[in-house]
Structure 1
Amino acid sequence: MKKLLINFLNDVGIEPTFLTLSISILLIMALTAIVIYVVLHKIILKSINKINETKANIITSTLLEYSLFQRLSLLFQGMVIHWQTKIWVESGNIYEILTTLSSVWISIFGLLALYSIIDKVFQVLHTATEVPFFAMRTIIQSIKLIFGIICLIYVISILADKSPVAILSGLGAMSAVLMLVFKDTILGFTAGLQLSTNKMVQIGDWIEMPKYGADGDVFDIGINVVKVRNFDKTITTIPTYALVSDSFKNWRGMRESGGRRIKRAVKLDINSIKFLKDEDIKKLEKANLLAPYLKYKIDEIRDYNEKNNFDLSVSVNGRRLTNIGTLRAYLETYLKNHPKINKSMTIMVRQLSPTEYGLPLEIYCFTATTVWIDYENIQSDIFDHIYSVLGEFGIKPYQYG
């Protein structure tokens, strides 16, 4: 090839000196690179884009997604420069510089093209399987890390003009330093495998981790960090390994169950608790939800008192209906008949230990939805109703002061 160039220079009347040959070779290499760039990026790439817009197929989408075609084009250009250097340039400093730079170029864009292929393969696998994206991403990042380290060692061996084996033997002596530098990556990699294997956390999970100020939805999981978008729209980053070494609360179980718990107490004035009088009972019997309960309890209490022959002129004798017991029965029936309460889960109204702020009457049930706004509305409606009906039972809520 070089002889052909010398003959061409002689034919056009240019003396083939070292300078003229060098300039001619550089011009040929530059023009070749420009022509290849124009053909690949301006003609072929535009054609692929047009085909993909009119009739997309697996080949065009694969080439266009994740910049695969651009990276393959730059890889090919580096290979052409490397090949031209072998043909045109004689051994020497310029030859060594060009071959070294082109080899590094090929290694870098070869790695990037491989990354694009890996991303596409795992995208197809994720679409075709039910494997969680987080588990896929952990594997993707691990594979990329391995190939990245291999490429880094190879590039260092090219720049140092040493074999990769010699570089690896030198790195062995620096293992302690490498362990320190890549500590988070190594810990994150092992933690990621545990998280994905045990399904401890996934994209979209609502987690709470007070130690890191996290209370929101997970939107990104990587080898090193997990990102949580808190409900106040701030973002908290948590080291991946912290999710294994520390404790956190995952609300995924609540979402999957289809119900969210209501656990709130109404504090009642103890001084307003009393036995129900006949006129109170007659008034409450008009309540549709209470009528069956009152009929059953009145018959049960009457039979019990008659059987034991109690003197009912004394209020402490025998059994009697109380306003708080009747309220508790009413609220339990009310919750069981509420259209937005999950009937397959626990429904309970219970007394807690009295405090200086009155007697807590706790509502314990689950909504039929896990949507936050709907949950809050249902809970508010229930307690609006509770506070409104307390007066019907002659009970006062406790209010400090």
Structure 2
Amino acid sequence: MYKFIEHVFGFLYPIFRKWGLGYNFASYLSLIFNIALLCLLAYFIYVVFRLVLVTVMVFIAKKTKTKFDDLLVTNKTAKYIAHLIPLLFIYKAVPVILNKYEYWEGVFGKLVGIYIVFLLLWIVRTIFNALKDYLKLKPRYSDKPIDSFIQVIMIVLWLVGITVIISRLFEINHTEILTTFGAVSALIILIFRDIIMGFVASVQVAINDMIRIGDWVTMDKFGADGDVIEINLTTVKVRNFDNTTTTIPTYSLSSDSFQNWRGMLNSDGRRIKRHILIKTSSIRFLEDAELSKLKSIHLISDYIDTRKKDIDAYNSSNSIDKSILINGRNLTNLGLFRKYITSYLRSHPALNQDMILMCRQLQSTSQGVPIEIYAFSRDKVWENYEYVMSDVFDHVFSSVKYFDLEVYELPSEKEYLK
């Protein structure tokens, strides 16, 4: 074919010369024709190989059970490989087709070589994207920061690709380029600071298993309170419970404090830790008549009998003067109330009885004495957890009056007007 073209333009050259166009016109026309013919052949090869590769890959994807080849089809890997084959043909054909045009041979050779490097990087990228999507389908890897590792690999490959392109474009040795990069390393570190810090943080996050996709995290500094939906090299995306999205720099996970609720979700219960304030003035000792009345409360009737016997025996053996209630040992309405709440919690079906469960008294304050409930709900789903906690405290608030206690609250307008 190439010899035929030479004969044709050898025949046409005298005609161009007669018309006054000369050798240069014939030469450029020959160059254009050669390039056009080369591009036409390359396009034909591309169409054929694209049809074959895509058809074969789709056929294989349908026949195999694995999802990886389906994801290769989705990411159009076969399409980009089909681009590569005609480019390799052009790269090999340029020295032959343009052997008499040394300048243009160099230009086209460099351009095609650079395009091949870019295309190879793009093919590798589609394969890694398919691999990322495939691993996320696996329960073992679905919560791992796969995006970060793939981005690191692609950054390294892009640096190698850029080095090859510069070497090819300016005909510089690879060693000289790397030496130059070393000389400007301080500038590179400044430019890629976030990427480098993000890479280090990603490694720490992965090794220490600090955070996974799907984790519920709270980070007040960035206003994040929700589920992690993406972890990549430079950012972590959190979908908050109000459906907004917060972006956190990856390196902040290793330098700042954040709260990961995964441990709670993987445990056997979600903690309930809340208190009520009892007026100090309403706390007092209980008399026998009051104890007899409180014995009608089922959850503490046995406790009152047992404790009253022990207290009466102690007071009697020590000849305690009970004409004044403060003398000797006594039951208090607050102590009995705490015992009742503990018994109530022990009988509540929604609370995990195998975990810590107690009703305790905290340090008194100017607003009263805090009585705190510390227990764990079996159901960890937010909505259900809130219902269980509300149900418990509905009962607690309703029970206070039976022990002649008062809950502290600020006076209302009506009380001021009395």
TM-score by structure 1 length? 0.90
Alignment of 1:121-200 (within 5 A): 121=131, 130=140, 133-200=143-210
1: distance between equivalents of 2:248 and 2:31? Answer: 57
Shift, 1:101, TM fit: 1.5
Match in the other structure for 1:6: 6
- Where structure 2 has 5 or more consecutive residues not aligned to the other structure, the ranges are 17-25, 412-418
Shift, 1:105, TM fit: 1.0
Shift, 1:327, TM fit: 0.9
Q: Is the 8 A contact 2:67 2:134 kept in 1?
A: no
Alignment of 1:337-356 (within 5 A): 337-356=347-366
* Distance verdict in 2 for CA 1:315–1:128, change over 3 Å: closer
Q: Is the 8 A contact 1:367 1:378 kept in 2?
A: yes
Q: Is the 8 A contact 2:132 2:146 kept in 1?
A: yes
Shift, 1:174, TM fit: 1.0
Q: What is the DSSP-based 3-state SS (H/G/I as helix, E as strand, rest coil) of the residue aligned with 1:315?
A: coil
Q: Is residue 30 from structure 1 mapped to residue 39 from structure 2 by the alignment?
A: yes
- Where structure 1 has 5 or more consecutive residues not aligned to the other structure, the ranges are none
State the Cα deviation string for residues 160-207 of structure 1 (Å, max 9, x = none): 232222222222221111111111111111121111111112212222
Q: Is the 8 A contact 2:227 2:239 kept in 1?
A: yes
State the Cα deviation string for residues 44-102 of structure 1 (Å, max 9, x = none): 42564366457666784364143321221222232222223222123433222211111
Aligned pair count reads 401
Alignment of 1:2-401 (within 5 A): 2-7=2-7, 17-42=26-51, 44-46=53-55, 48-49=57-58, 52-53=61-62, 60-61=69-70, 63-90=72-99, 91-121=101-131, 130=140, 133-401=143-411
* Distance verdict in 2 for CA 1:362–1:167, change over 3 Å: same
State the Cα deviation string for residues 325-366 of structure 1 (Å, max 9, x = none): 111001111112211112222111111222222221111111
Percent identity of equivalent pairs: 34
Q: Is the 8 A contact 1:9 1:15 kept in 2?
A: no
- Name the amino acid aligned to 1:3: K
TM-score by structure 2 length? 0.87
Q: What is the DSSP-based 3-state SS (H/G/I as helix, E as strand, rest coil) of the residue aligned with 2:238?
A: strand
* Distance verdict in 2 for CA 1:332–1:199, change over 3 Å: same
1: distance between equivalents of 2:40 and 2:65? Answer: 33
Shift, 1:400, TM fit: 0.6
1: distance between equivalents of 2:128 and 2:32? Answer: 41
State the Cα deviation string for residues 222-265 of structure 1 (Å, max 9, x = none): 12122222222222222222211222222222112132211111
Match in the other structure for 2:414: none
- Name the amino acid aligned to 2:38: M
* Distance verdict in 2 for CA 1:183–1:291, change over 3 Å: same
1: distance between equivalents of 2:360 and 2:144? Answer: 42
2: distance between equivalents of 1:245 and 1:133? Answer: 22
Q: What is the DSSP-based 3-state SS (H/G/I as helix, E as strand, rest coil) of the residue aligned with 1:356?
A: coil
CA RMSD of aligned residues (A): 2.8
